[in-house]
Amino acid sequence: MTATLIDGKAFAATLRARIATEVAQMKDHGITPGLAVVLVGEDPASQVYVRSKGKMTREVGMNSYEHRLPAETDQDSLLNLITRLNNDPAVNGILVQLPLPKHLDESLVINAIDPAKDVDGFHIQNVGLLATGQKAMVPCTPLGCLMLLRDRLGSLSGKRAVIIGRSNIVGKPMAQLLLRDSATVTIAHSRTENLPALCREADILVAAVGRPKMVKADWIKPGATVIDVGINRTDDGLVGDVDFAAAREVAGAITPVPGGVGPMTIACLLANTLTATARSNGLPDPDGLTP
Ligand SMILES: Nc1nc2c(c(=O)[nH]1)N[C@@H](CN(C=O)c1ccc(C(=O)N[C@@H](CCC(=O)O)C(=O)O)cc1)CN2
């Protein structure tokens, strides 16, 4: 069996077009969503992502505010900028591109963002709201994975899901979202015993470890849906955490890298910015953009 390709690039383009329609309607009511993105330093991949975020923000009709700071920026200067953005009524969403240079305290910086403008969903308040099943801002990459999974499978209720990776950005929020949809969820990590056997039990396998081609074909239950969050730059180019060519002969559906989960991350950032704008203006959440 050759797996169906889950085309995240196409899904993200459709999502962005829908967001553009909703932004146009907001503008008719005098509201223009604004997204501020802060980049500290010159990490080449981060520069690409930030440029792409700015371009797509403008394409859907939102205002984009980019703040590029030198790598040696001190903590207080960064916190002062965040305070300014928190207090700026034109800014509905704030994102600090990660990773930050080592001398900056990532948690302190993220938790300085107004939770209502935290379109990354990384603020401790949003983490807690998500974990307790309340209305939260939801991290973009797991939100994108959830959208792809629901589109492919419909109901996730009762499905066996294994997530490889326990990061705050992907693994943990992904688990919360799948639990919310009544999947049976296991988070696996570097100390998990007999990982291949555990993965073989999964109807839904999410790989988010950052190790190129780690997940082999014989780790996959025939017919399973495989979501590859890995973005690893290797001598062979960009590869995921899943050995794609072999895995697609076993899985029922699989996301490619590139063109799978990655494009969903930015589309969901725009979705979150729209949601944050609606909430701050006392409007209902836009349909289908929040879990
Ligand atoms: N504050 C944040 N920082 C980071 C996040 C995040 O969600 N919030 N996620 C990643 C990077 N990221 C967005 O910031 C991101 C990663 C990948 C893609 C993407 O479209 N990938 C393409 C491949 C692009 C390439 O060639 O590199 C794909 O997979 O098809 C978009 C955004 C870390 N930091």
**Number of structural domains found in the chain:** 2
Instruction: Answer yes or no: is 172 within a domain.
Output: yes
For residue 208 and ligand 1, the question of a CB distance below 6 A is answered with no
The CATH number covering residue 201 comes to 3.40.50.720
- Give domain status of residue 167, yes or no: yes
pLDDT in tens, the chain (291 residues): 799 999 999 999 999 999 999 999 999 999 999 999 999 999 999 999 999 999 999 999 999 999 999 999 999 999 999 999 999 999 999 999 999 999 999 999 999 999 999 999 999 999 999 999 999 999 999 999 999 999 999 999 999 999 999 999 999 999 999 999 999 999 999 899 999 999 999 999 999 999 999 999 999 999 999 999 999 999 989 999 999 999 999 999 999 999 999 999 999 999 999 999 999 999 999 999 998
155 marked among binding-site residues: no
- Ligand 1 centroid–CA 148 distance in Å is 16
Query: Containing domain of residue 99, as a range?
Result: 32-114
- The verdict on 146 and 187 lying in the same domain is yes
Q: Quickly list DSSP for the chain.
A: --PEE--HHHHHHHHHHHHHHHHHHHHHTT---EEEEEEES--HHHHHHHHHHHHHHHHTT-EEEEEEE-TT--HHHHHHHHHHHHT-TT--EEEE-SSPPTTS-HHHHHTTS-GGGBTT--SHHHHHHHHTT-S----HHHHHHHHHHHHHHS--TT-EEEEE---TTTHHHHHHHHHHTT-EEEEE-TT-TTHHHHHTT-SEEEE-S--TT-B-GGGS-TT-EEEE---EEETTEEE-SB-HHHHTTT-SEE--SSSSHHHHHHHHHHHHHHHHHHHHTTPPPPTTS--
97 is catalytic: yes
Is 133 among the domain residues? Answer: no
Q: Report whether 166 belongs to an annotated binding site.
A: yes
State yes or no: is 117 an active-site residue.
no
Q: Do 151 and 201 fall within a single domain?
A: yes
Task: Judge if ipTM > 0.85.
Answer: yes
Residue 123 lies in a domain: no
Domain assignment present for residue 6? The answer is no
Q: 107 with 157, same domain?
A: no
Give this prediction's pTM.
Answer: 0.97
State yes or no: is 47 an active-site residue.
Answer: no
Beta carbon of 95 within 6 Å of any ligand 1 atom: yes
Which residue in 114, 118, 120, 228 is the catalytic one? 120
CA 258 to ligand 1: nearest atom:
30
Residues 215 and 150 in one domain: yes
